[in-house]
Structures are given as structure tokens and as C-alpha cells.
């Protein structure tokens, strides 16, 4: 082959999409360790048009690569990608495509997370709107979910399985664990018919809690699955002052970590209306051993199925005392590294984040340095 022909062949090969291999049973090279959620952009945001387009740009992905992150979780919402008649809304799809291109340009693997759909919102129970969650009682709602993933797969399937993964749905809240298990089987079957080898991220029922991982039925024999749980315990620490949490918003006393979180004096001074919920925090010692203990079910599930374990959300609300927050982050990172648990912080630039997108500057650089102090992805 002449030099000119070789160069031409190479250029053609570089332009051919990296279609995910159809070799079922073959393990991908979708390797992850430390990342963050690029949240409140294509999910949980009212921004549209130019404001949404400018909110996240390629320099954000370049920054994450430079800091030492190796992947991102990209939450997306049905209302941003489809209208009420199930027609695609082109701009959001373009932005997702940009995000995945930027991820690849900056050596960041990406998990596309279907965060909120019209038939299921993970926080509905806390907003007295649980009736809006029809997903687990409606065959049509479940078929609609499958159709969302069929369309997402059609749009994303050409991307390398080594670089892009799919997360079925964020924080399922089914009354019965078996309802979620049955839906997992349906979504898994539908996606495996389309993409036999794509890495799929599956979480446990009831807000992806660590304590419900033991009830999760994982499709067997599929090595391209990652098990996911979320962790914000103890809430009185991680969500202290959060307006959407009745207890954390109402309690005005001090919180301690590590140790007993709430002193007897602060408990006695608290409003009577919250004392029943506050009392457990006066009785238990919270430290790294407590975290290890609570991770046990998730770790055992990953061992049982011989799969990667992933903590998809964890973090501390921005107003919380930083020294307390850093103590907790440090213990979490230690346990993650002990058990080779991958993680994405909640989040990059919102109210649990370390970057201020409005001022284009770090709002918590010490947190970033702490996050990067642990183990990175093994070469």
C-alpha cells in the first residue's frame, strides 16, 4: 500500500463510528473510579435556549480531566428530551451529543442517567405527590419507559461501549421490591436486544439505598452491569439546613462528626415537633466504622454477582460547616478505596458542588483536593 493510500485508509477508519460490539458475554473496558454528576443542566432545571446551552461547555469537561476525574454521570429528564406528545425536542439531544463528544475529547467516560420521567419522580413522596408515580402500576407507563430507552439507544448506540454506559433510571421508589425487579428485567431485556454489550448501571429500590441492595435481582451471566447505590447518611449532617428536608430545615442546633451527632442539650432545646425524628441522632455514634457497616449489603451484592460497585450520589450540602463536611468526605473516600467502589459526587456546580458556574471559579477548592487525594483509576 502506498503512503497516500495508507493515510486515506486511516482517515476513513477514523470517521467510522465506534459501534458497540455485539459480542454478548464479552466484558467491556468501561473502567471507572472517581467522577462527578454534571447535574441541574439537562435535568432538574428550567433553563432553556441560550441559558441552557451556555450553562455547561467544553471547558467544564477539560477542567474535570485536569483535576483528575476519570468519568461523569449525566442526568437527563424526559421533559427536556420529549414533549408531552412524545416528540423529540432537538436542542436537548444536541446538547447531550456535545457533552458526550466533550467527555471523549477529555478522556472522561460517561454514564447517561435517565433521572426523572413523567411517570416517576423519586422525590414525589416527600412532596405529597406520590399519586403522580404511575410507573409501577401502569403497563403503559412501563412501555413508555422502554420506548424512551429504545430511542436513546438508537441515538447513542454508535458510541463505544468502553466510553458510554446507560443507567436505567434514578432512585426508583416502588412499594414492593419485586415491582422494581420485574421492571429491571424488562428494561434489561429490551436493551440487550438492541445492544448486547453496552454497560448498564442498575440501582436498588427505594432511592438506591444501600439497605435495599440485598433485595435487588440482577440479570445473571451479564458481566457488563454496574451496581449502583446512593449514600447521604447521616442526613442531619449532609443535609443540615436543607429547605426541602423538614427535619434538617427545622433543626438549628449543632451537629458533630465523628461521634454522637446531636448533644442532649441541643436535643432538649429543639422544637418538640421534630424530637421523634431527631432522637436517633442522639443515640448512635457515627464514624468510619458506621459507614463500613452500612455499606455491607451493597458490597456483598457486588461480590455475589462479581460486578463493579458504584456510589452514584454522595455529598454534603454547601452551607454545612466545612470541617465537619471534610471529616465525612475523608471517611467516605477511605471506605471507597478499601472496597474499590467507584463514585460520582453530587455534584459539580449546584448546591452540593465545588465549582461556581456563575462566577466561573472554585467555591470549594479544598474539597477538590480532598477528593483527588484518594485512589485514581488504575492504569
pLDDT surpassing 50 at residue 344: yes
Tell me, what's the pLDDT at 290?
A: 98
Tell me, what's the pLDDT at 26?
A: 78
- Going by their DSSP bridges, the two strands 308-313 and 225-230 should be labelled as parallel
Cβ count within 10 A of residue 255: 21
Model confidence at 187, pLDDT cuts 50, 70, 90, reads very high
Tell me, what's the pLDDT at 19?
A: 57
Residue of 22, 80, 319 whose CA lies nearest to 196:
22
Least confident of 40-44, 123-127, 128-132: 128-132
Average pLDDT over residues 132-146: 95
Average pLDDT over residues 352-372: 95
What's the CA gap between 377 and 379, in Å, rounded? 6
- Type and span of the H or E element at 113: strand 109-116
Structure-block grid coordinates of residue 143: 412501555
Tell me, what's the pLDDT at 234?
A: 98
Tell me, what's the pLDDT at 108?
A: 98
- Tell me the percentage of the chain whose pLDDT exceeds 90: 88
- Tell me the percentage of the chain whose pLDDT exceeds 70: 92
Model confidence at 5, pLDDT cuts 50, 70, 90, reads very low
Coil, strand or helix: which one is 202?
Answer: strand
**Which class for 128: exposed (0-12), middle (13-18), buried (19 or more C-beta within 10 A)?**
exposed
Beta bridge partners of 200: 166, 225
H helix runs in 158-263, sequence order: 177-194, 205-208, 235-238, 246-250
pLDDT surpassing 90 at residue 2: no
Amino acid at each position: 500500500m502506498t503512503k497516500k493510500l495508507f493515510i486515506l485508509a486511516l482517515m476513513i477508519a477514523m470517521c467510522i463510528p465506534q459501534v458497540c460490539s455485539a459480542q454478548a458475554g464479552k466484558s467491556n473496558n468501561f473502567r471507572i473510579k472517581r467522577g462527578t454528576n454534571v447535574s441541574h443542566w439537562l435535568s432538574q432545571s428550567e433553563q432553556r435556549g441560550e441559558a441552557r446551552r451556555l450553562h455547561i461547555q467544553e471547558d467544564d469537561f477539560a477542567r474535570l480531566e485536569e483535576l483528575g476525574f476519570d468519568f461523569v454521570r449525566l442526568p437527563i429528564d424526559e421533559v427536556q428530551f420529549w414533549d408531552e406528545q412524545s416528540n423529540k425536542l432537538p436542542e436537548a439531544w444536541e446538547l447531550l451529543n456535545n457533552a458526550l463528544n466533550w467527555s471523549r475529547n477529555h478522556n472522561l467516560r460517561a454514564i447517561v442517567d435517565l433521572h426523572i420521567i413523567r411517570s416517576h419522580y423519586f422525590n414525589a413522596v416527600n412532596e405529597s405527590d406520590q399519586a403522580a408515580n404511575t410507573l409501577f402500576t401502569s403497563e403503559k407507563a412501563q412501555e413508555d419507559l422502554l420506548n424512551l430507552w429504545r430511542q436513546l439507544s438508537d441515538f447513542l448506540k454508535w458510541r463505544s461501549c468502553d466510553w458510554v454506559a446507560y443507567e436505567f433510571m434514578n432512585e426508583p421508589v416502588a412499594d414492593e421490591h419485586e415491582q422494581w425487579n420485574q421492571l429491571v428485567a424488562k428494561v434489561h431485556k429490551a436493551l440487550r436486544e438492541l445492544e448486547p454489550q453496552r454497560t448498564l448501571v442498575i440501582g436498588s429500590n427505594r432511592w438506591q439505598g444501600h439497605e435495599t441492595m440485598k433485595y435487588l435481582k440482577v440479570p445473571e451471566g451479564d458481566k457488563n452491569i454496574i451496581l449502583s447505590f446512593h449514600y447521604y447518611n447521616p442526613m442531619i449532617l449532609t443535609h443540615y439546613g436543607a429547605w426541602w428536608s423538614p427535619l434538617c430545615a427545622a433543626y438549628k442546633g449543632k451537629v458533630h462528626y465523628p461521634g454522637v451527632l446531636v448533644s442532649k442539650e441541643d436535643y432538649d432545646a429543639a422544637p418538640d415537633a421534630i424530637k421523634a425524628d431527631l432522637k436517633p441522632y442522639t443515640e448512635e455514634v457515627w464514624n468510619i466504622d458506621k459507614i463500613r457497616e452500612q455499606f455491607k449489603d451493597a458490597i456483598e451484592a457486588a461480590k455475589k454477582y462479581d460486578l463493579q460497585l458504584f456510589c452514584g450520589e454522595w455529598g454534603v450540602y454547601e452551607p454545612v460547616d466545612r470541617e465537619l463536611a471534610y471529616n465525612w468526605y475523608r471517611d467516605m473516600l477511605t471506605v471507597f478505596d478499601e472496597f474499590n467502589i467507584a463514585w460520582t459526587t453530587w455534584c459539580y456546580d449546584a448546591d452540593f458542588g465545588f465549582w461556581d458556574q456563575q462566577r466561573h471559579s472554585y467555591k470549594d477548592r479544598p474539597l477538590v483536593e480532598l477528593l483527588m487525594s484518594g485512589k485514581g483509576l488504575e492504569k
